[in-house]
Chains A and B, each alone.
Chain A
Amino acid sequence: MNETRVMKGREKAFSMIITFFVALIFWLLLSAWNKYQFAHGEYEPIRFFRGVFVAFIVTLIAHELLVPARGEKVLLKLQRWILYIPWELYQIVLAAIDVASRVFGLRPVDPRIIEFETTLRSDLALTTFADSITLTPGTITINIEPERGKYTVHAIDKGPADALTVDQTMQKKVGYVFMEEG
């Protein structure tokens, strides 16, 4: 399912154009503060061509990494993924407050290692789920086996371990985003 193939023709042109514009906008955003520092007349428009040159080199080297070969329904997955990020940021804040309460002695420390299986199979879904486990209060990913979707997780207490294996809220959310629920 994840074999690599050489891109030719229209796919290659599409990916190179998208990578070129993303690199050019990134360069402009990083160097635009310099334009307003100096007085008018000291900033020549010829410096814009440095950005075009650098973006061209980046496109030649890395266009296959940034925009891979077309999957299916990419726009719908992108929209659902953007809506998934604020829930992630809320979980980071909860995770830090949870660890702070364990440092000051308000809750016990009783670690254990658990293993479970999921129905996710593609590279991006497995990576997003592993990142989400590390950012949720009380759990860190140790190992992933991509053939069966099996995760080895270190949990710091019984509460977070049960929230991952018994309730399964996060598996449902990531499965909804990448449309691989089971």
Chain B
Amino acid sequence: MLTVELLVNILACVFLAGGAFFMITGAVGLVKFPDFYTRLHATGKCDTLGQIFTIVGCMIYQGFDFITVKLFFVAAYYIFAGPAATHAIMKAAYFTGLKPWKKGDPRM
């Protein structure tokens, strides 16, 4: 009953569940944090890792095939593009004059 295929499926499910947990944490952080700059922290880091874990879970489920190479390209592209997009949005907000939040201010 304890075949290799069952172990591979369980490992893929663990990675998929971890990815979904980090994505939900990123979305809850987007609603809960008090300021625009801290919300970008939540989406830029948690979101990126949640997506990478989900795609790695799909790669483990597939095994050694050519489709794994395509999924690897999507994941590797997102490691480089996620932080770059976060930096672009934050730089645009800083130079337009959005004020950062200090501890003790009202929530904005």
Contact = CB atoms under 8 A, between A and B. Distances in A.
Contact of B32 (A32, A103, A112): A103
B103 A134 contact: no
Contacts of A93: 49
Given A99-B25, A99-B45, A154-B100, A140 B69 contact: no
Nearest to B33: A109
Interface in B27-71: 28-29, 32-35, 37-38, 40-42, 44-46, 48-50, 52, 65-67, 69-70
A113 interface: yes
A111 B37 contact: yes
Nearest to A141: B87
Given A152-B94, A154-B100, 16 more contacts: A29-B69, A30-B69, A30-B70, A30-B73, A33-B67, A98-B45, A100-B46, A103-B25, A103-B29, A111-B38, A135-B45, A140-B40, A140-B90, A142-B87, A143-B94, A143-B95
A100 B86 CA distance: 18
A100 B30 CA distance: 11
B18 to A, nearest CB: 10
B15 interface: no
Contact of A134 (B25, B37, B46, B86): B86
Interface residues of B, number: 41
Nearest to B21: A100
A140 B22 contact: no
18 contacts: A32-B66, A33-B65, A33-B70, A93-B49, A99-B41, A100-B25, A100-B46, A102-B29, A103-B32, A104-B25, A109-B34, A111-B35, A131-B84, A140-B40, A140-B44, A141-B87, A142-B91, A156-B41
Contacts of B46: 96, 99-100, 103
